[in-house]
């Protein structure tokens, strides 16, 4: 796959004036994060910006501030939001375009909490502008977007993490076995049942168009997604019910649920080769119900996602873990002699150490791919064969159009 970046000249990148999906306010870098913190020298002080401070923004940024504060690094609390959220800012100076924030030299770290239709593009723009990025889940709206984020991270050598920390509690013994490469065929069957909010985040199939709120630039909110008539269920938390912006309850909760799985089974650099879903016919715009999906890796590992909210329960295979007894005695001895995995770093720790760790871009890409492949199987209604190296579905042009989705001008990947 060719290297992708936002197809926009630097002049246009720095010059745009359209209202963004979010706005931002800035306060001076020397402002302290709390009354008990000591003034730090400029070399140890970071400027941070939040892009999108609706439902998740406050929590995302609060965690960011606390994390850097615990390291003895001052983070300036910035707010960026739809204009109706101006009262959440430390001051009332509002940026109407996220690009105005990214061009500032006093911003080092960006937290992104917009709807997922913007996650990849803003992450790419932020890293191109020299910022480290903490992005809310899911990482991207479709698979090709996520690959563009990974390539940008490598090209600009920035620290990127996805804002989910399921891997920090994952089974490290399983990770060591799987990462060792000693287990050539994996018999494990992992079944994740429930917790996907399928019904809660289903879309409306016949929403009545209405005027958008005066505080909202609906065109910019939609961003690279199709510009459809506004109705309130498409905005706010319920945006999750529409393919244009997210991927239903699976898109919302999948990265949380599967981040630990990917780490434990050492799948941060690969993806399943076979995907089958059990679901009713999908609506072209609104996410809906589904029963289960079975995803199988080249080594035989099976991952099952079961909603528990629709249809017959999954009964093909029984849950089974993996342990040292799955190895021969010689391989058990080799495993014992291997060093333990390095501790994972949180985003603030990774920024300070200048290391990729935790839910880094490649790991986030592979986790989000599990959700996207499941949703593609649901939307197409058929079993898929996937090439995890090319990141393409084998012999299925219609399904591949959901991997490489078009964007509404002027936003696009090239």
Q: Which of 146, 165, 184 is the last residue of a domain?
A: 165
Those residues whose C-beta lies under 8 Å from the C-beta of residue 229, and which sit 6 or more positions away, are: 209
Q: How confident is the model at residue 10 (pLDDT cuts 50, 70, 90)?
A: very low
Tokens of 326: 């799955």
The answer on 82 and 185 residing in a single domain is no
Neighbours of 340 (CB within 10 A): 9
Query: Residue 66 pLDDT more than 60?
Result: yes
Q: Which of 165, 191, 215 is the last residue of a domain?
A: 165
Closest CA to 219 of 235, 208, 233, 243: 235
Cα angle, residue 300 at apex, residues 295 and 304 outer, rounded to 5°: 30
Residue 398: its pLDDT value, please? 96
Mean pLDDT value across residues 49-69: 65
Q: How confident is the model at residue 47 (pLDDT cuts 50, 70, 90)?
A: confident
The answer on 121 and 172 residing in a single domain is no
171 falls within a domain: yes
Are 76 and 29 in contact by the 8 Å Cβ rule? The answer is: yes
145 falls within a domain: yes
What is the SS3 string spanning 76-119?
ECCECCCHHHHHHCCCCCCECCHHHHHCCCCCCEEEECCCCCCH
Q: Give the domain range for residue 96.
A: 10-165
Mean pLDDT value across residues 18-43: 40
Residue 62: its pLDDT value, please? 63
Q: How far is CA 17 from CA 14, 220, 338, 379, in A?
A: 9, 11, 55, 37
User: How much is the mean pLDDT over the chain?
Assistant: 84
Query: Residue 361 pLDDT more than 80?
Result: yes
The answer on 72 and 176 residing in a single domain is no
232 falls within a domain: no
Q: How does pLDDT run across 173-182, given as a tens digit for each residue?
A: 999 999 999 9
The answer on 251 and 155 residing in a single domain is no
Residue 164: its pLDDT value, please? 81
348 falls within a domain: no
The answer on 187 and 146 residing in a single domain is no
Residue for token pair 């510009």:
227
Query: Residue 406 pLDDT more than 50?
Result: yes
Cα separation of 305 and 289, whole Å?
A: 13
Q: Of residues 47 and 125, which shows the higher confidence score?
A: 125
4 falls within a domain: no
The answer on 331 and 297 residing in a single domain is yes
223 falls within a domain: no
Please give the distance of CA 100 from its chain centroid, rounded to a whole number: 23
Q: Of residues 224 and 103, which shows the higher confidence score?
A: 224
CATH number at residue 20: 3.40.50.720
Q: How confident is the model at residue 60 (pLDDT cuts 50, 70, 90)?
A: low
230 falls within a domain: no
Q: Report residue 34: phi and psi, to 5°.
A: -170, 160
The answer on 145 and 93 residing in a single domain is yes
The answer on 102 and 54 residing in a single domain is yes
Q: Residue 212: CA atoms inside 13 Å, Cβ hemisphere, count?
A: 18
The answer on 307 and 172 residing in a single domain is yes
Residue 59: its pLDDT value, please? 58
The answer on 110 and 144 residing in a single domain is yes
Provide the domain count of the chain. 2
Q: Which of 165, 180, 212 is the last residue of a domain?
A: 165
Q: How confident is the model at residue 166 (pLDDT cuts 50, 70, 90)?
A: confident
Query: Residue 246 pLDDT more than 70?
Result: yes
Cα separation of 380 and 281, whole Å?
A: 8
The answer on 255 and 134 residing in a single domain is no
Mean pLDDT value across residues 374-399: 98
Are 80 and 23 in contact by the 8 Å Cβ rule? The answer is: yes
Cα separation of 95 and 81, whole Å?
A: 9
Q: How does pLDDT run across 272-296, given as a tens digit for each residue?
A: 999 999 999 999 999 999 999 999 9
Q: Report residue 289: phi and psi, to 5°.
A: -85, 155
Query: Residue 8 pLDDT more than 90?
Result: no
Q: Of residues 54 and 91, which shows the higher confidence score?
A: 54
Closest CA to 254 of 372, 116, 355: 372
Residue 68: its pLDDT value, please? 73
412 falls within a domain: no
CATH number at residue 328: 3.30.360
Lowest mean pLDDT among 60-74, 97-111, 172-186, 323-337: 60-74
Query: Residue 6 pLDDT more than 70?
Result: no
Q: Residues of the chain with pLDDT > 70: what percent?
A: 79
The answer on 189 and 56 residing in a single domain is no
């Amino acid at each position: 796959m060719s290297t992708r970046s936002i197809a926009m000249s630097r002049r246009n990148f720095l010059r745009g004036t359209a209202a963004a999906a979010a706005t931002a306010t800035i306060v001076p870098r020397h402002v302290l994060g709390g009354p008990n913190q000591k003034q730090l020298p400029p070399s140890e002080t970071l400027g941070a910006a939040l892009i999108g401070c609706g439902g998740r923004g406050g929590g995302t940024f609060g965690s960011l501030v606390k994390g850097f504060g615990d390291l003895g690094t001052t983070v300036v609390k910035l707010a960026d939001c739809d204009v109706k959220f101006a009262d959440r800012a430390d001051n009332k100076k509002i940026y109407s375009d996220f690009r105005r924030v990214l061009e500032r030299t006093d911003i080092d770290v960006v937290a992104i909490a917009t709807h997922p239709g913007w996650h990849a593009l803003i992450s790419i723009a932020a890293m191109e502008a020299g910022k480290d990025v903490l992005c809310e889940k899911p990482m991207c709206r479709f698979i090709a977007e996520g690959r563009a984020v990974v390539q940008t991270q490598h090209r600009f050598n920035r620290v990127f993490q996805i804002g989910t920390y399921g891997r920090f509690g994952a089974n490290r013994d399983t990770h060591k076995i799987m990462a060792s490469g000693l287990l050539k065929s994996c018999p494990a069957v992992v079944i994740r049942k429930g917790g996907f909010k399928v019904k809660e985040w289903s879309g409306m199939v016949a929403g009545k168009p209405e005027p958008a709120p005066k505080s909202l630039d609906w065109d910019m909110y939609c961003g690279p997604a199709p510009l459809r008539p506004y109705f309130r269920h498409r905005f706010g938390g319920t945006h999750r019910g529409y393919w244009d912006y997210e991927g239903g309850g699976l898109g919302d909760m999948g990265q949380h649920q599967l981040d630990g799985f990917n780490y434990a089974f050492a799948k941060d650099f690969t993806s399943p080769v076979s995907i089958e879903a059990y679901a009713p016919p999908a609506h072209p715009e609104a996410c809906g119900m589904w029963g289960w999906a079975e995803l199988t890796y080249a080594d035989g590992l099976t991952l099952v996602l079961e909603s528990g909210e629709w249809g017959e329960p999954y009964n093909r295979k029984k849950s089974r873990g993996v342990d040292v007894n799955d190895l021969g005695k010689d391989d058990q001895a080799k495993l014992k002699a291997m060093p333990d995995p390095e501790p994972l770093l949180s985003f603030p720790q990774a920024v300070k150490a200048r290391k990729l760790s935790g839910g880094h871009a490649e790991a986030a890409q592979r986790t989000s791919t599990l959700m996207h492949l499941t949703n593609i199987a649901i939307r197409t209604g058929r079993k898929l064969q996937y090439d995890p190296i090319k990141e393409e579905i084998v012999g299925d042009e219609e399904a591949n159009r959901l991997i490489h989705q078009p964007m509404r001008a002027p936003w696009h990947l090239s």
